Amino acid sequence: MDVKTVHVIGAGPAGLMAAERLAQAGLKVVVHDAMPSVGRKLLMAGRGGLNLTHSEPIEGFVGRYGAAGGAVAAWLEQFSPTHLIGWAEGLGQATFTGSSGRVFPRAMKASPLLRAWLARLDGLGAEVRTRSRWVGRRDDGWVFATPDGETVERPDAVVLAMGGASWPRLGSDGAWAAMLEGVAVAPFLPSNVGFDVAWSGVFGERFAGQPLKPVAMTHDIPERYRPSGCLSAQTVRGEAMLTRYGIEGGAVYALSAGLRDAIERDGTAVLTVDLRPDLSVEALAGRLTRARGKDSVTNWLRKAGGLSAPAVGLLREIPGELPPGADKLARRIKAVRLTLTGVQGLARAISSAGGVRLDQLDDGLMIKSMPGVFAAGEMLDWEAPTGGYLLQATMASGAVAADGVMRWLAGR
């Protein structure tokens, strides 16, 4: 029996997932990665705890993908959060769900999971070639640059999983976009990224590196730019981090797509920060009726308002004097308006938007103009906030592409 050969280009989560499913189906699989080792972005993401997926109900889960939600919903039908958890535990990586609903391996780090994954691939007979960079096509073959010179491969099918354009030093630089002639590729944009704020010198020096927590952040979306069915504002509770250039962190990342688009459109964006999201205006105003006595304003706000030093600093950083009266001051604390003046670039972004447009692909993620060539992962034009949504969709797309390869090969 003639065994078909599939080459997977890119050894991140999408590529490795595709390789695993293809090898399990008995196909000969070769995985190429341009870097000296595989899964570098996965390992970096796992430094603070590898967030595999999220326990949110699927309706809300799909909504995290914005305009790409319909496409991603189909991917999740084939490889859901439940599937991902079962897959991880099948590798010997027990999981747990945190209070935020995020799902992590008990080991927290990515390295134990990656080692077990590579051992499984090895056991399935999949070959992994590092320092093997795809450089183009010639004479109906796929050309790779390796330390030993160029090689030309002629597989029966190919899965492209070369990542987007964020964290380029880890290998995903988006250079492949110029090599896909005739395939529409949306420009890469930073996603899950920090934003510039014109802090005063004193504030930036004193509070850079300090957290704001807990906070609620809101971005109002003008009606003329609001997608059909979208709320007039998005609000996210969580944490943020003050930096010398501005502000970043989970709550900011969750709003980054809308904020980025607003800055591109209008030059600036307004982010409204509630420094005491756990209290109503009335409850906070009641606390602020406490006499200040000999306390400084900062100490009084800390004691009566329950504000941290960075929160007080932020409150006093915005233009205008602190308003008199407990009610007005409470309203200011619960609606600090920050003007964002710029977006950090792709080199500092956790992920990227843009990539191969979804209308260029069929339901099995085959590129319509390139029969036998499939694409998966951050190469595709979708984005999502952190919180498990990125890795879930990335791995699901790898599973969908692998299944698409098998259907296509069977149809031939």
Residue 48 has a pLDDT of 79
**According to CATH, where is 3.50.50.60 located in the chain?**
5-190+352-411
Q: Which amino acid is at 202?
A: V
d(CA 27, CA 373): 16
Q: How confident is the model at residue 46 (pLDDT cuts 50, 70, 90)?
A: confident
231, pLDDT greater than 60: no
d(CA 46, CA 167): 14
pLDDT digits (tens, 9 = 90+) for 320-373: 889 989 999 999 999 999 999 999 999 999 999 999 999 999 999 999 999 999
Burial 64-81 (b: 16+ CB within 10 A, else e): bbbebeebbeebbeebbb
d(CA 83, CA 124): 20
- Percentage of residues of the chain with pLDDT beyond 90: 89
Mean pLDDT, rounded, for 135-161:
96
Question: Tokens 């920050």, residue?
Answer: 338
Residue 24, strand partner residues? none
Q: HEC profile for the chain?
A: CCCCEEEEECCCHHHHHHHHHHHHCCCEEEEEECCCCCCHHHHHHHHHCCCCEECCCHHHHHHCCHHHHHHHHHHHHHCCHHHHHHHHHHCCCCEEECCCCEEEECCCCCHHHHHHHHHHHHHCCCEEEECCEEEEEECCEEEEEECCEEEEECCCEEEECCCCCCCHHHCCCCHHHHHCCCCCEEEEEEECCCEECCCCHHHHHHHCCCEEEEEEEEEECCHHHCCCCCCCEEEEEEEEEECCCEEECHHHHHCHHHHHHHHHHHCCEEEEEECCCCCCHHHHHHHCCCCCCCCCHHHHHHHHHCCCHHHHHHHHHCCCCCCCCHHHHHHHHCCEEEEECEECCHHHCCEEEEEECHHHECCCCEECCCCCEEECHHHECCCCCCCCHHHHHHHHHHHHHHHHHHHHHHHC
Domain at 5-190+352-411, CATH class:
alpha beta
- Whole-angstrom CA distances from 330 to 182, 211, 218, 254, 304 are 57, 21, 17, 26, 11
From the CB of residue 223, how many other CB atoms can be counted at a distance below 10 Å?
A: 8
pLDDT digits (tens, 9 = 90+) for 257-276: 999 999 999 999 999 999 99
Q: How confident is the model at residue 47 (pLDDT cuts 50, 70, 90)?
A: confident
7, pLDDT greater than 80: yes
Q: Which is it for the CA torsion 316, 320, 324, 330, positive or negative?
A: negative
Locate 98 and state its tokens. Answer: 């945190």
Mean pLDDT, rounded, for 309-318:
95
d(CA 213, CA 211): 6
Contact call for residues 365 and 15 (beta carbons, < 8 A): no
Q: Which is it for the CA torsion 28, 34, 35, 38, positive or negative?
A: negative
1, pLDDT greater than 90: no
Residue 163 has a pLDDT of 96
Q: How confident is the model at residue 225 (pLDDT cuts 50, 70, 90)?
A: very low
Q: Which amino acid is at 243?
A: T
Strands 133-138 and 141-146: antiparallel
For the chain, what's the residue count? Answer: 412
Residue 233 has a pLDDT of 79
Q: How confident is the model at residue 228 (pLDDT cuts 50, 70, 90)?
A: very low
Q: Nearest 5°: phi and psi at 232? A: -70, -20
Burial 125-164 (b: 16+ CB within 10 A, else e): ebebbbebbbeeeeeeebebeeeeeeeebebbbbbbbbbb
Residue 320 has a pLDDT of 86
More confident residue, 391 or 293: 391
Mean pLDDT, rounded, for 192-199:
97
